[in-house]
Amino acid sequence: MNNTELKKKKLTHHKLDLLLEITRNINKNLSAEELFGLFEDVLSQQLGLHKFILYIFKERWEATIIHGDDGLSDHILPGEDLAHFTENTIVNDSHPTPLQGFDIVVPVFHKTQPLAYLVLGGLEKDKVQKYFDKHINFLQTLTNLISFANENKKLYKENIKQEAMRREMQLAAELQGMLFPTRFPNNEKIEIDAMYNSHHDIGGDYYDFFILPDGEIAFCIADVSGKGIPAALLMSNFQATIRVLSGFRTSLKEIVIDLNKRVMANAKGEKFITLFLGKYNHENRKLTYINAGHNPPVLLNGNRIEMLQEGSIGLGMFEELPWVREAEVIVDPESILVCYTDGVVEAEDNDGRQFGTQNLSEILIDNRNLNMKELNAEFQMKLEHYKNSKKGFSDDVALLSCRFR
């Protein structure tokens, strides 16, 4: 491992430790002032930021944290100057004049309502893009956690216990919703689409895709044991981990080993995560994967059905994984891979018979000419028809379908 990779690894682990520490402090029910102080310390001391403002909506917009500002915050009207920011953005000349002294805006939303804006400044102009690429995912996750925690505290202070609990569930569900990508690739190499239906207000299923440093397309689907807020927080941390690790690793085996250590450290053996992680190289048509205790995805490779089950046990069960094996498959053009969570195959009809992988495979074969969005819709329709019951689903349902061009 060269010095650059070593530095990236140390930075990654440092960020994950910070997220875990903040999550623990949130669970300790620290005061809002203490949480904001912790947030300010992380940004200034750990990320080296000398100038930033955190705006929080408390019946009206307030600058909750002002750090190193030289008076420019007096001219910013959050409800007007920041209202059009809906995603992480680098400030440029087209943005409102009061923002010209700043570099980056990080917004936090609950559904369509803005909860907070983090405005960063003081960076060297030629290093803004590099800083953005390096830290933006961490900054987004950190600001989300603090903003949602503050929102919960506000509700509890109003002594509306039932409303606070309902809101807590909504906010946690919103946090979980942020884990799922909203856009998928559809190009000459690969087509991906996914769907998710939660049986609980907050579920433990997760899927994602990302580009590895060597340009290969990676994707995953995962399921955490248990449900509710603890599962959502563990999966949120897991998502942050896998995103950071994928930024400097191309070896699936190394990623899975690191993930296991992090899940074990965070859950302390009380929960575990099953994971299917794959990457696709369009040049040699090689699909490499590790199945860490997850339901084996169904691959329609040409006219053959294959179940991808090689890999390891689930993550977080042991300090060290007993074995980790990468498997490789050469996929024919237009082959389709369907990844799913157990809520799909374990769905029961009125007689208690499970949907199973056989039904999944037959639907895939019969509808192989559909695009991936249409294919997932077909799965969902057939699944609901199979149940034909008012009981609803007993578990979350997630599907990630990929066509290899």
DSSP structure string for 372-400? HHHHHHHHHHHHHHHH--TT--SS-EEEE
**What is the distance between the alpha carbons of residues 209 and 298, in angstroms, rounded to a whole number?**
18
Looking at the 3D structure of the chain, how many domains does it have?
A: 2
Q: Judge if 209 and 168 occupy the same domain.
A: no
Q: Judge if 315 and 360 occupy the same domain.
A: yes
Q: Judge if 187 and 297 occupy the same domain.
A: yes
Question: Has residue 160 got a pLDDT over 80?
Answer: no
Q: Judge if 267 and 164 occupy the same domain.
A: no
Residue 262: closest CA among 67, 57, 20: 20
pLDDT tens, 111-138? 888 889 999 998 998 999 999 988 888 8
Q: Which long-range contacts (CB under 8 A, 24 or more apart) does 33-37 make?
A: 35/146, 35/149, 35/150, 36/64, 36/65, 36/146, 36/150
Least confident of 71-75, 92-96, 320-324, 346-350: 71-75
Band (89; pLDDT cuts 50, 70, 90): very high
- CATH assignment of the domain containing 45: 3.30.450.40
Q: Of 173, 195, 211, which marks where a domain is finished?
A: 173
Question: Has residue 5 got a pLDDT over 60?
Answer: no
End-to-end CA distance of the chain: 34
Q: Judge if 149 and 256 occupy the same domain.
A: no
Write the CA distances from 69 to 101, 132, 237, integer angstroms: 10, 20, 31
**What is the distance between the alpha carbons of residues 32 and 65, in angstroms, rounded to a whole number?**
12
Q: Judge if 162 and 259 occupy the same domain.
A: no
Band (31; pLDDT cuts 50, 70, 90): confident
Q: Judge if 239 and 320 occupy the same domain.
A: yes
**What is the distance between the alpha carbons of residues 78 and 57, in angstroms, rounded to a whole number?**
9
Q: Judge if 264 and 280 occupy the same domain.
A: yes
Residue 16 sits at the vertex; the CA angle it makes with 44 and 41, to the nearest 5 degrees, is 20
Beta-strand runs (E) in 25-146: 51-58, 60-67, 89-90, 104-110, 113-121
Summary count for the chain: helices (H), strands (E): 10, 16
State residue 390 phi and psi, 5-degree precision.
-85, 0
Q: Judge if 218 and 96 occupy the same domain.
A: no
Q: Judge if 329 and 235 occupy the same domain.
A: yes
- The residue ranking higher by pLDDT, 354 or 225, is 354
Write the CA distances from 3 to 9, 17, 242, 273, integer angstroms: 10, 21, 21, 31
Distance of CA 397 to the CA centre of its chain: 17
Q: Judge if 102 and 154 occupy the same domain.
A: yes
Identity of residue 201: D
**What is the distance between the alpha carbons of residues 181 and 219, in angstroms, rounded to a whole number?**
11
Q: Of 107, 138, 173, which marks where a domain is finished?
A: 173
pLDDT tens, 291-349? 999 999 999 998 999 999 999 999 999 999 999 999 999 999 999 999 999 888 888 88
pLDDT tens, 184-221? 888 889 999 998 876 555 667 889 988 888 888 999 99
Sign, CA dihedral 386-389-390-392, equals negative
Q: Judge if 126 and 187 occupy the same domain.
A: no
**What is the distance between the alpha carbons of residues 82 and 319, in angstroms, rounded to a whole number?**
45
Write the CA distances from 101 to 91, 119, 132, integer angstroms: 9, 10, 16
- CATH assignment of the domain containing 281: 3.60.40.10
Q: Could you tell me the two tokens for 303?
A: 């006219």
Q: Of 173, 200, 232, which marks where a domain is finished?
A: 173
Write the CA distances from 381 to 23, 299, 394, integer angstroms: 38, 21, 17
Sign, CA dihedral 26-28-32-38, equals negative
Question: Helix, strand, or coil here: 171?
Answer: helix
What pLDDT is recorded for position 111?
81
What pLDDT is recorded for position 171?
64
pTM for the full predicted model: 0.59
Question: Has residue 166 got a pLDDT over 70?
Answer: no
Cβ atoms of 81 and 99 within 8 Å: the answer is yes
**Domain extent at residue 264:** 181-404
State residue 261 phi and psi, 5-degree precision.
-60, -40
- The residue ranking higher by pLDDT, 392 or 182, is 182
What pLDDT is recorded for position 146?
85
Band (250; pLDDT cuts 50, 70, 90): confident
Report which secondary-structure segment, H or E, holds 195: strand 190-197
- The residue ranking higher by pLDDT, 361 or 149, is 361
What pLDDT is recorded for position 33?
84
Average predicted confidence (pLDDT) for the chain: 84
**What is the distance between the alpha carbons of residues 112 and 61, in angstroms, rounded to a whole number?**
16
**What is the distance between the alpha carbons of residues 372 and 339, in angstroms, rounded to a whole number?**
12
b/e 291-305 (16+ beta carbons within 10 angstroms → b): bbbbbbbbbbbeeeb
Question: Has residue 389 got a pLDDT over 60?
Answer: no
Residue 392: left (phi > 0), alpha (psi -120 to 50), or beta? Answer: left
